[in-house]
Amino acid sequence: MNPIEILKKYVSYPSVSTDPAFKEGMVGSRNYVMELLKEIGFDVKLVDTPLHPIVLGQRGGEKDWPHIVIYGHYDVQPADPYELWDNPPFEAEVKDGRIYARGSADNKGPQVVHICALAKLLKRRPDLPLRITYLIEGEEEIGSPSFLGFLDEYKQLLSEADMVLVSDTGIPTPDQIVITTGLRGLVDLEVELTGPNKDLHSGIHGGAVLNPIKAIADLCSSLHTEDGKVNLPGFYDGIEGVQDWEREELKKFPLTEEGYKEFLGVKGLYGDKDFTPLEALKIRPTLEFNGIGGGYQGEGVKTVIPSKAFVKITCRLVAGQDPAQIVKLLKDTLLKRVPKEVTIKFKGEGSGHPYGVVPPGRSNTPADQSPVLAKAFLSAEKHIEKIFGKAPLYIREGGSVPIIADLKTVTGLDSLLIGLFLPEDNLHAPNESFHLGVMEKAIEAFEGIIEDIADK
């Protein structure tokens, strides 16, 4: 199995889950990964859901063998704006030690790492005493709306497993792997304001009507305080504290403020003034505007007062925050603040819980931690240190993989989250890529980690 060729093929299927126009790409993408799993010996089937089906692969075995769940997602983010890509986003280009394509890092590249590691391992040890359940879903980029239903259906099977193995998180440099100990939760809400029942001439009517763009600007502006905090009363209630060992790990993170500013191309970082930028983006919740629109956006001038304006909001949540509670808080606050001259409408409300896990041997490791999970942590540390030259860091991540919390809630399973993508990989942005050096080493490391888990 040639990982680069496999990944090139995998990313050629434009599997944008949020947009019904990409249905064919979704089908192609899941069919391809099903083939790959069959090739390395899995029993594979497609589990229907209300939206995009889930790929379920199984490698059975003796009852007393360890049983791991490997998770990935075959869907990708939209690729627009297309004009900012150097190559067509669904025609991979390999250059300068990277492979460029939408989905190359999030999450198709890491899946290829797992599959190629397993291919090598199972070729060498066809009788490996390890049960594996493979879950590759198609709705991760839209908040996995069908996954909870699937978990309920397969609760029995999954609850018998020992742990989940996932690579859908980040690392700071190609030689510094991070084992992710927390994920932020996510809620989304689209807010639409309607003022006049049609677009109005801004000369004839300007001065007597509340412009929905002004109203939405005022609302957006009200959602943060001047010192960079989210301005929803109660937003920070119930957030759990940070352990000393976590702060120590964070200090080892190889990123300076200057280097980060340069990477982002900004003149200054900006956020909650009570936290360092790294703390703010790893362990604190946020409220961000992902899109805004209203009125005339074409070339030149059109002197209208628009009828409507909208904004797309997402919040990242941390342990202690409840998504449903936060959505309610956001809606209630907006309803309270919206001026009476416009009407407000909400859309969306997808949500995912935050997640946290503690590596073995830390002050707050739970006493009932699964022995297979504990062993997996230790063998991951060993193989990563050997192959990448540095021990992994144990750090929380700013991103969200909401199903990790769902797996914990429904099946009791914790996850070993081994990060593989870099800041330069441009996830969710134009020119996404995956680092071929990381891919190669990671295949070797995962071969060792999975073998260790099998060998009691």
* Rounded least distance, CB 244 to a second copy, Å: 21
What's the per-residue H, E or C state across 339-378? Answer: CCCCEEEEEEEEEECCEECCCCCCCCCCCCCCHHHHHHHH
- State which residue, 29 or 169, has the beta carbon closest to a second copy: 169
Burial profile 178-211: b = 16 or more Cβ within 10 angstroms, e = fewer: bbbbbbbbbbbbbbbbbbbeeebebeeeeeeebb
Which residue's CB is nearer to a second copy, number 214 or number 408?
214
In the bound state with a second copy, the residue whose beta carbon lies nearer, of 305 and 358, is: 305
Q: Which of 72, 306, 323, 359 binds a second copy (CB under 8 A)?
A: 306
Q: Among residues 69 and 344, whose Cβ is nearest to a second copy? A: 344
Closer to a second copy by Cβ: residue 379 or 400: 400
Give the residue, chosen from 3, 143, 354, 356, that forms a contact with a second copy under the rule CB under 8 A.
Answer: 143
Q: Is 399 in the site for a second copy (CB under 8 A)?
A: yes
Least distance CB 159 / a second copy (angstroms): 28
Least separation, in Å, of the C-beta of 131 and a second copy?
A: 32
Pick one of 304, 319, 338, 436: the residue that binds a second copy (CB under 8 A).
Answer: 304
The residue among 336 and 340 lying less far from a second copy, judged by its C-beta, is: 340
Q: How far is CA 413 from the centre of its chain?
A: 19
Q: Residue 257 Cβ, how far from a second copy at the closest point, in Å?
A: 9
Residue 196 neighbours by CB under 8 Å, 6+ apart: 205, 209, 305, 307
Contacts (CB under 8 A) with a second copy, residues 161-190: 170, 184, 186, 188
Nearer to a second copy, 56 or 309 (CB): 309
Q: How far is the CB of 330 from a second copy (least distance, A)?
A: 15
Minimum distance from CB of 399 to a second copy (Å)? 3
| Nearest partner of 70 among 137, 126, 122, 132, judged by Cα | 132
**Buried b vs exposed e over 39-71: b needs ≥16 C-beta within 10 Å?**
ebebebeeeebeebbbbbbebebeeebbbbbbb
> Are the beta carbons of 37 and 122 closer than 8 angstroms?
no
34 counts as binding a second copy under rule CB under 8 A: no
Residue 447 in contact with a second copy, rule: CB under 8 A: no
Identify the residue among 38, 155, 264, 437 touching a second copy (CB under 8 A).
264
| Residues of this chain, 184-243, that bind a second copy according to CB under 8 A | 184, 186, 188, 195-211, 213-214, 216-218, 220-221, 224
How many Å apart are CA 120 and CA 40, to the nearest integer? 9
Q: Which of residues 62-91 bind a second copy (CB under 8 A)?
A: 77-78, 80, 84
- Least Å distance between CB 357 and a second copy? 17
Q: Supply the DSSP symbol for 421.
A: B
CB nearer to a second copy: pick between 60 and 266: 266
Per-residue interface string for the shown chain with a second copy, residues 101-140, x marking contact by CB under 8 A:
----------------------------------------
Q: Find the part of the chain contacting a second copy (CB under 8 A) among 26-34, 126-134, 288-296, 328-336.
A: 288-296
Residues 308-367 that bind a second copy (CB under 8 A): 309, 311-312, 314, 316, 339-343, 348, 350
Cα–Cα dist 440/123, whole Å = 18
Q: 120 or 428, CB closer to a second copy?
A: 428
Query: 339 CB contacts (<8 Å, ≥6 apart)?
Result: 210, 215, 218
CB of 270 to a second copy, least distance (A): 4
88 neighbors 432 (Cβ within 8 angstroms): no
Residues 302 and 292: their CA atoms lie apart, in Å, by 18
Specify the residue, 280 or 442, whose C-beta has the smaller distance to a second copy.
280
Minimum gap (Å) between residue 443 Cβ and a second copy: 24
Please, are residues 104 and 113 in contact by the beta-carbon 8 Å criterion?
no
Rounded Cα gap, residues 211 and 202, in angstroms: 10
Q: Is 84 helix (H, G, I), strand (E, B) or coil?
A: helix
Q: Which of 99, 34, 115, 108 is nearest to 73 (CA)?
A: 108
Place of tokens 């791991």: 68
Q: How many residues bind a second copy (CB under 8 A)?
A: 96
Q: SS3 for 59?
A: strand
Please say whether the beta carbons of 439 and 224 come within 8 A: no
